[in-house]
């Protein structure tokens, strides 16, 4: 299913290529460099935090820990630590809302932002809004924090790279990076080069026996699924790209100084994006807080959701009003989840499943209430629907089955926060 989704994203990207100009592929655009980070890294005894905001490729035991180890070895007089803010299956449209809680509150000195793959199907304008929102929030809160955009690749999104152009998502991100002088690194230039030369296997297990190695005829195995690189191979190429890029970035870095925000690239950017506790809304009595101190399920999510609630009975409601242009609910979906009825203002009610083809386990998700809204007062009502979605049919789309009926029985809804561009009204 993931492969089919990425292939669909690739088709969308190719169809849009004529509408949006793709940027010529180049491994590193140093721009204004990383002056504050590099100056601090050279100070004996300095304590440096590196934030990694991204998706599942960043969450892997790959380029993230590899680069952290490289920095620690290279600048041994300083002490490095990471802020791991990677969540699989999510893009900049969630990253811009969770940025403060997951990264900025921990005060990083450098932040890598990796969303080029998961933003593969997003429109350029949406990418502008989110990526610029990330930049402006960061420099408003931490003006000395340096930022670097990094781009990754999958087989489905590779066609443009094979023609010497960035994929559409990376091309859109380049507009924001260029506007603010932010360095960018495409970590997959060598991957694309090997693929074009016919020397790359996108999807395969790492060879263990001599026979398996001979069958590959010297080709480089990138990933087990054409998406998430093997730590031993694909992620090593990603690390090497960053190491190579540090030299031109150093050369472009001037004296350390606070970053000054210039006029926005796009007026509708998400600088005002915020994550608010779900308890700021009105929850009916059937919802209960999953206190991480006493609830094991709540404890699993406490680093992302501090006010995770659970409702399971049909008819339980969440209501609130806000003034703004975009609103979502940050929640958890999984086997026991059902569906909800969503009413925005006087629009027709929509029934939205909180269950999909991957729901053999629980994971973070977002429930979109409305976007591109008129900047005025809006009212929201969310109600747990009495009917369960057809879970067996939904799971079958991804080749999954209901293993234990009792595990999948339920109409649960797990809201944790309100994601808002605007202000909550009381």
Helix residue ranges, H only, 269-404: 296-300, 391-396
Tell me what pLDDT residue 7 has. Answer: 47
In this prediction, residue 82 has a pLDDT band, given cuts at 50, 70 and 90, of: very high
Per-residue pLDDT tens for 151-198?
999 999 999 999 999 999 999 999 999 999 999 999 999 999 999 999
Tell me what pLDDT residue 247 has. Answer: 97
Of 93, 180, 85, the closest CA to residue 136 belongs to 180
CB 335 within 8 A of CB 407: yes
| Phi and psi angles of residue 387, each rounded to the nearest 5 degrees, phi first | -100, 140
Tokens encoding 46 = 């300095």
Of 342, 330, 328, the closest CA to residue 385 belongs to 342
- Residue 248 reports pLDDT greater than 50: yes
HSE (CB half, 13 Å, CA atoms) of 17? 17
Spatial CB neighbours of 97, under 8 Å, sequence gap ≥ 6:
270, 273, 274, 275, 328, 330, 419, 420
Per-residue pLDDT tens for 370-414?
999 999 999 999 999 999 999 999 999 989 999 999 999 999 999
Tell me what pLDDT residue 426 has. Answer: 74
- Residue 29 reports pLDDT greater than 50: yes
Exposed (0-12), middle (13-18) or buried (19+): which is 408, by Cβ within 10 Å? Answer: buried
HSE (CB half, 13 Å, CA atoms) of 372? 2
Per-residue pLDDT tens for 275-323?
999 999 999 999 999 999 999 999 999 999 999 999 999 999 999 999 9
CB 314 within 8 A of CB 386: yes
- Overall pTM > 0.85: yes
CB 355 within 8 A of CB 389: yes
Q: How far apart are CA 28 and CA 30, in angstroms?
A: 6
Q: How far apart are CA 350 and CA 341, in angstroms?
A: 6
In this prediction, residue 19 has a pLDDT band, given cuts at 50, 70 and 90, of: confident
- What is the SS3 string spanning 192-235? HHHHHCCCEEEECCCCCCHHHHHHHCCCEEEECCCCCCCCCCHH
Give me the mean pLDDT over the 241-260 stretch.
97
Give me the domains of the chain, ranges plus CATH numbers: 2-252 (3.40.50.1110), 273-425 (2.60.120.260)
SS3 assignment, position 11: helix
Tell me what pLDDT residue 80 has. Answer: 98
- Residue 368 reports pLDDT greater than 50: yes
Q: How far apart are CA 325 and CA 303, in angstroms?
A: 27
Tokens encoding 152 = 């990754």
Per-residue pLDDT tens for 83-119?
999 999 899 999 999 999 999 999 999 999 999 999 9
- The CB density around residue 73, as the number of other CB atoms within 10 Å, is 9
Average per-residue pLDDT for the chain: 94
Whole-number percent of the chain with pLDDT over 70: 96
Tell me what pLDDT residue 5 has. Answer: 46
């Amino acid at each position: 299913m993931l492969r089919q989704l990425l292939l669909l994203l690739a088709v969308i990207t190719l169809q849009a290529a004529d509408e949006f100009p793709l940027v010529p592929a180049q491994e590193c655009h140093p721009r204004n460099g990383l002056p504050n980070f590099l100056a601090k890294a050279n100070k004996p005894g300095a304590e440096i935090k590196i934030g990694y905001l991204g998706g599942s490729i960043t969450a892997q035991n790959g380029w993230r820990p590899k680069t952290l180890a490289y920095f620690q070895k290279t600048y041994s007089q300083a002490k490095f630590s990471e802020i791991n803010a990677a969540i699989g299956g999510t893009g900049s449209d969630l990253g811009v809302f969770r940025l403060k809680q997951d990264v900025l509150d921990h005060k990083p000195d450098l932040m890598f932002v990796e969303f080029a793959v998961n933003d593969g199907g997003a429109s350029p304008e949406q990418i502008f809004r989110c990526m610029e929102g990330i930049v402006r929030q960061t420099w408003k809160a931490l003006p000395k924090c340096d930022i670097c955009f990094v781009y990754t690749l999958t087989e489905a999104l590779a066609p443009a790279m094979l023609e010497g152009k960035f994929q559409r998502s990376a091309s859109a991100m380049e507009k924001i990076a260029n506007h603010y002088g932010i360095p960018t690194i495409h970590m997959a230039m060598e991957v694309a080069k090997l693929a074009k030369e016919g020397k790359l296997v996108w999807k395969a297990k790492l060879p263990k026996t001599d026979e398996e190695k001979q069958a590959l005829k010297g080709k480089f195995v990138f990933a087990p699924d054409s998406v998430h690189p093997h730590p031993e191979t694909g992620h090593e190429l990603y690390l090497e790209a960053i190491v190579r890029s540090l030299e031109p970035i150093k050369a472009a870095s001037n004296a350390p100084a606070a970053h000054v925000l210039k006029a926005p690239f796009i007026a509708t950017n998400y600088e005002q994006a915020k994550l608010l506790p779900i308890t700021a809304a009105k929850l009916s009595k059937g919802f209960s807080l999953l206190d991480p101190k006493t609830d094991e399920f709540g404890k699993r999510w406490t680093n992302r959701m501090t006010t995770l609630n659970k409702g399971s009975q049909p008819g339980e409601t969440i209501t609130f009003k806000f003034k703004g242009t975009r609103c979502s609910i940050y929640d958890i979906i999984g086997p026991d989840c059902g569906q909800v009825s969503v009413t925005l203002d006087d629009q027709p009610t929509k029934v939205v499943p909180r269950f999909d083809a991957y729901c053999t386990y629980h994971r973070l998700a977002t429930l979109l209430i409305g976007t591109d809204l008129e900047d005025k007062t809006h009212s929201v009502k969310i109600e747990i629907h009495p009917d369960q979605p057809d879970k067996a049919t939904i799971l079958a789309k991804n080749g999954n089955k209901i293993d234990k009926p009792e595990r999948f029985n339920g109409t649960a809804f797990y809201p944790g926060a309100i994601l808002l561009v605007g202000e909550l009204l009381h």
